[in-house]
Amino acid sequence: MPPNLPVLRCHRQGATPLWCLLQRHLLTTMGEAALWFYDRYTRPDGTLVWRQEWPGMDGSDDGYESFHNFPLLYLLGGDPRLLETARRGWEAVTWQFTQYGQVHREFDAYYDWMHHGEGSLLLYYLGLADPSRLQDRERAVRFAAMYMGEDPEAPNYDRERRLMRSPITGSRGPRCTMTAEDWSTHREVLDGYPPPFEDIPGAPGPKCPWMDDAIFEQVLARINARMGAGDVPLNLTAAGLITHAFLFTGGAKYRQWVVDYLDAWKGRAAENGGILPDNVGPTGRIGECMDGGKWWGGYYGWRWPHGAGVLLDAVAIACNCAALLTGQTAHLDLVRAQLDLLWGLGREQDGAWTTPNKHLDAGWTEFRPADARLPILLWSLAQAPEDAARIARIPGQAAWDRVADHIGKGDQAHTLPWYRYVTGHLPDYPERILRLDERHVVRRLEAIRRDDGDPATWDVHHWQDRNPVLCEGLVQTMLGAPQPIYHGGLLHCAVTYFDAEADRPSLPPAVGALVESVDAEGVTVQLVNADPLRAHALIVQGGAFGEHCFTTATDVDGGNTVEVAGPWLRVELGPAAALRLRLGTRRFAAAPAYGGPRPGRATPAPLRGRTTRP
């Protein structure tokens, strides 16, 4: 650790609060449970205990997702063994799904970016947890090349037109024509969704029977003709992978690619009257492959069963990455504009303000109560008054105080009550969300104990549904932020921590952290040493990647203020010490990178091979 960081010391003792005890209990329990879960569902070589074959293009993401948050728990202070377990898991799943046929050159041969994004979360967290591995750095650079027009085996990106050549991309390049086998494992899932087009014979809705071979033949023909070639907003999720390479290397070309590709979609929205089109053809023309030149109807677009949700998540991921890489939160404007557009199209319905989720041939439809999740995420990232106003206009916020007894896919179901807490309206939220996570860990462990079925019959989501690592409450309370967007978003947060004695990212043993408030001027966080015998030292970092600089650090109760002028502050806590810390902050004032305050850990030099072939 750097020897000359500013230091704030606290020896003022206090009673250990319940939230601190719950944090430490969850860190210990989930760490042990994760290792037991991994041993229960993997062979000695690390591969998942499962079936002999798995056809189609779907599935590898679900393998990675089964323990994607192990390195995140390590980052928060979990068992040190979690890091190598996660690495071993990534390598084993990569090998296993290479044998199945989904993975080629360590990356999906071809699939869409909702699934690429979910599968990449494990890599992003590994980069945060330990960026010193040369293999991880090399993969980040190599995978980014597949989406920047630099890899001749994977010509996914048209650099001249700034577009992806298909919604289905990967290490084998664009997949403009799909086969029935590509969709074979996914048809049953889609059986319960609305039809992707309005002119499918025998499938007028409300659902489309993909398992009916005759109807599926019609669906596949239309997908290939209308969706196979050209770009879609979902591909903006690739910005996370390119940013991942920047965080390892600091290479300016990665920053430029993210900005250029986002700007290309901004231009398409401007050309379309402000509405983001959900499809452009191979030449960049809106609606080029869609009947009648429609700007709606693309893959995971405005009329896809998921509607605005997944589409806007992809836009937000790219906007967030551009803001992180440049320090300019104006890059959030594309997703802000789409939220405002939907709000302007809204109407009151059953006493609530609703906004459209889809656009069909007949116009905007499927009106739903306005969703605060994305506005809260933008507010958390930028701390801009305009984002706070987008939240404030949503009525009925007192109902957000309910901490529902569910977790949802991606462990991101409680963004709204967290916002109420961090803005001063729900003081007991930390205890409630941590207790909820504890209950769900117990339930998942019990499900594992009762799991005596035949692995050959298991669904590809079997392990995700039993993963006992649930980090939402820890991320919210310790880091002061909502969970990342599950379809491939990076971790954007107010603060992270490093154990100054163990030289690893995490809180020291027995130390708890609670972010009480976040605003444009700074962060207020409680740090508690629950160990009455030993002192502990930690380093507080601005943001997940050192992108925020602290100006001052004030012991709120003791009155002592330390000048910081950088992303890191060393805090020394005496036995049983409790500190309320106010950190003045300049947001996005430093270049983001993996590695934190550990010199030389973020960007190991690449190995070089021969210049001529032997």
pLDDT grade for 606, boundaries at 50, 70 and 90: confident
- Copy the structure tokens of residue 570: 């060393």
**Alpha carbon distances (Å) from 265 to 174, 277, 334, 500, 506:** 19, 9, 8, 43, 38
Average pLDDT over residues 456-475: 96
- For 102-112, the pLDDT digits (tens) are 999 999 999 99
Specify the pTM: 0.97
Measure the CA–CA gap between 466 and 478, rounded to whole angstroms. 24
Measure the CA–CA gap between 81 and 68, rounded to whole angstroms. 14
Average pLDDT over residues 188-209: 91
pLDDT the model gives residue 71: 98
Calculated CA dihedral for residues 249, 250, 256, 258, nearest 10 degrees: 70
- For 29-59, the pLDDT digits (tens) are 999 999 999 999 999 999 999 999 999 999 9
pLDDT grade for 10, boundaries at 50, 70 and 90: very high
At the topology level, CATH places domain 7-12+495-586 in Immunoglobulin-like (2.60.40)
Q: Which of 256, 353, 343 is nearest to 308 (CA)?
A: 343
- For 293-332, the pLDDT digits (tens) are 999 999 999 999 899 999 999 999 999 999 999 999 999 9
**Alpha carbon distances (Å) from 297 to 20, 168, 206, 287:** 49, 16, 16, 9
pLDDT grade for 156, boundaries at 50, 70 and 90: very high
Average pLDDT over residues 158-172: 98
DSSP state for residue 239 in the 8-state scheme? H
Which residues does residue 553 pair with via DSSP β-bridges, in sequence order? 562, 583
pLDDT at 602 exceeding the cut of 60: no
pLDDT at 3 exceeding the cut of 80: no
pLDDT grade for 409, boundaries at 50, 70 and 90: confident
Lowest mean pLDDT: which of 165-179, 402-416, 515-529? 402-416
pLDDT at 25 exceeding the cut of 60: yes
Which residues does residue 169 pair with via DSSP β-bridges, in sequence order? 111
Q: How many CB atoms lie within 10 A of CB 471?
A: 24
Q: How many CB atoms lie within 10 A of CB 252?
A: 10
Average pLDDT over residues 520-541: 98
Q: Which of 589, 586, 567, 580 is nearest to 496 (CA)?
A: 567
What is the residue-averaged pLDDT of the chain? 96
pLDDT grade for 604, boundaries at 50, 70 and 90: low
Ranges of H-type helices in 350-409:
373-382, 385-392
Measure the CA–CA gap between 168 and 484, rounded to whole angstroms. 23
Average pLDDT over residues 491-512: 96
pLDDT at 607 exceeding the cut of 90: no
Q: How many CB atoms lie within 10 A of CB 152?
A: 8
pLDDT at 601 exceeding the cut of 60: no
From edge to edge, which strands make up the β-sheet containing 522-529?
Answer: 511-519, 522-529, 578-586, 549-555, 561-566
DSSP state for residue 550 in the 8-state scheme? E
- For 373-382, the pLDDT digits (tens) are 999 999 999 9
Task: State which amino acid sits at residue 547.
Answer: E
- For 350-395, the pLDDT digits (tens) are 888 999 999 999 999 999 999 999 999 999 999 999 999 999 999 9
pLDDT grade for 608, boundaries at 50, 70 and 90: confident
Q: Where are the domains of the chain?
A: 7-12+495-586
pLDDT the model gives residue 613: 66
pLDDT grade for 247, boundaries at 50, 70 and 90: very high
pLDDT the model gives residue 548: 98
pLDDT the model gives residue 610: 83
pLDDT at 599 exceeding the cut of 90: no
**Alpha carbon distances (Å) from 37 to 41, 79, 92, 275:** 6, 14, 16, 45
pLDDT grade for 605, boundaries at 50, 70 and 90: confident
Which residue's structure tokens are 């916002």?
Answer: 419
pLDDT grade for 4, boundaries at 50, 70 and 90: confident
Which residue's structure tokens are 């309370």?
Answer: 477
Using CA of residue 541, residue 543, residue 547, residue 550, what is the dihedral sign?
negative
Average pLDDT over residues 402-429: 93
Average pLDDT over residues 170-182: 97
pLDDT the model gives residue 170: 98
pLDDT at 143 exceeding the cut of 70: yes
